[in-house]
Amino acid sequence: MRLRPLEELKAEEVSLEELLNSMRSMLRSNSVASSLAVEGDRVIDGAVDYWALRWLRCRLAPVSEGLREGGPIPLEALGFYDNAMSNEYRAYRDVMELLSNDRPTPMVMLRGDWGPGVRVWAKLEWYNPLSLSIKDRTALGVLMEALSRNPDARKIFEVSSSNTGIALAALSAALGLRARIYVPTTAEGFGPSMLRILGAEVVVRGSSTVEALPSAIAEAKAEGAIMPNQFENIANPLTHVGTTAKEIDLQANFLGLKLRGIFVTLGTRGHSAGIAFYFKNRRPDVKVFGVQPAEGSIIPGIRRQDPSKWWPMAERPDEIIDVTDSEAMDSAIAVARTNGLLFGMSGGAAVAALLKKGKLEEGDYVVVVPDHGIKYLDRYLSRLGD
């Protein structure tokens, strides 16, 4: 048996159910049961494990010629954590390398009155360089997956009111693709301005992203464009399993945290589903709290969820907490005034949910902060009454 870079190998497609089951088993056992059987660069037996290793973002695969050989092989031996760590000098030869390798995003302990023995850590996703948000990860994941199926595509269409659209428009610029982003009539400010500056075609359509979706999908088909459709694309949550979730795990281990819970906000449910999938299998003692806007509140990037809908995996947040836009802004402003960091409104909502939850068991909690508050200055100023 020997180790080979996964990117050198090819395998046939497998069913989603088989893929998820193999990922679950690897996350639970922290290993792969046996090597992949290969002939040259083709996997002839073990395609399911090959795809599971890819989505877990391992660097290497254990291979043997012709027949699978016994293991188990620990994930660490396959470079499981390599993609969660940057090179020492953070020096990169191009933007694509920056995007994949400049990891992890920082995690920082927040000063605050959280309750006895409770420590709160913020994972700062505005450190992603394109959209200054967690959505760089989603955009990279869905676009690379789509391009691997359709390498000749030159156009990419997506429906997004801000961060995903910006990340896709920026990635398209970096890769020489043309982006068309459908934005709802309500979109204003940072999002549409960034899209125009990045050279994307902006189509204003519908009063919400959901409304524009069917016609955008039809137009993408007619014009031969890639349409990732982040709302239904399994590459969205799967991307966060091998990146965002893995980084939290690695950082929590490094800091020696007694990790009790993670607060995540719900938009497409991409990062929440990825984090729930990872932790429910690898660290089932860690609770995942989903955060959504309370009835009648508008918090950019997140939306009220239909409880009957989820991704095709059983792992999901243990609890959903409603937060009003005022609570989200008040929490963001309070954190800014005690820590000097201005969270975006969804990050503020995650903190507000933690405070609302009350009576937290002593230990460590992570709030995922999707973007920076500079995008929402007008909202914060009007909340302050200025």
Longest CA–CA separation in the chain, Å: 71
Q: Give whichever of 83 and 164 is closer to ligand PLP, judged by the CB atom.
A: 164
State in angstroms the smallest separation of the CB of 324 from ligand PLP.
16
317 sits near ligand PLP (criterion: CB under 6 A):
no
- Residue number of the CB closest to ligand PLP reads 301
Between CA 234 and CA 274 the distance in angstroms is: 10
Question: How far apart are alpha carbons 119 and 133 in whole angstroms?
Answer: 24
Question: d(Cα 309, Cα 141) in Å, to the nearest integer?
Answer: 22
Q: Is 371 in the site for ligand PLP (CB under 6 A)?
A: yes
**Residue 44: CB partners within 8 Å, gap ≥ 6?**
37, 38, 66
The residue count for the chain: 386
By CB under 6 A, the count of residues binding ligand PLP is 20
Which residue type, as a one-letter code, is found at position 330? D
Per CB under 6 A, the list member of 132, 302, 335, 354 interacting with ligand PLP is 302
Q: Would you count residue 344 as binding ligand PLP (CB under 6 A)?
A: yes
Question: Minimum Å distance from CB 264 to ligand PLP?
Answer: 8
Q: Which of 192, 261, 301, 373 binds ligand PLP (CB under 6 A)?
A: 301
Nearer to ligand PLP, 35 or 138 (CB): 138
Smallest separation (angstroms) from ligand PLP to the CB of 71: 33
Candidate list 289, 370, 372, 373; residue touching ligand PLP; CB under 6 A: 370
Under the binding rule (CB under 6 A), the answer on residue 372 touching ligand PLP is no
182-191: long-range contacts (C-beta < 8 A, 24 or more apart)?
182/157, 182/158, 182/206, 182/209, 182/212, 182/216, 183/159, 184/208, 184/209, 184/211, 184/212, 186/161, 187/161, 187/162, 189/375, 189/378, 190/162, 190/375, 191/160, 191/161, 191/162, 191/163, 191/165, 191/166
Q: Does 265 bind ligand PLP (CB under 6 A)?
A: yes
What is the SS3 assignment for 62?
strand
Pick from 36, 47, 56, 266: which binds ligand PLP (CB under 6 A)?
266
Q: Is the peptide bond before 293 cis (omega within 30 degrees of 0)?
A: no
Fill in the per-residue mask, 129 to 158: x = in contact with ligand PLP (CB under 6 A), - = not in contact: ----x-x-----------------------
Residues 6+ apart with CB under 8 A from 149: none
Alpha helices in 116-269 (DSSP H): 135-149, 163-175, 190-197, 209-223, 235-240, 246-255
Under the binding rule (CB under 6 A), the answer on residue 305 touching ligand PLP is no
Residue of 62, 267, 293, 373 that binds ligand PLP (CB under 6 A): 267
The yes or no reply on residue 242 touching ligand PLP (CB under 6 A) is no
Per-residue tokens: 25: 């088993």
- Look up residue 46 and give its amino acid: G
Q: Does residue 105 touch ligand PLP according to CB under 6 A? A: no
From residue 60 to residue 99, what is the string marking binding to ligand PLP with x (rule CB under 6 A)? ----------------------------------------
Q: Can you give the binding site for ligand PLP, defined by CB under 6 A? A: 133, 135, 162-164, 265-272, 300-302, 344, 346, 370-371
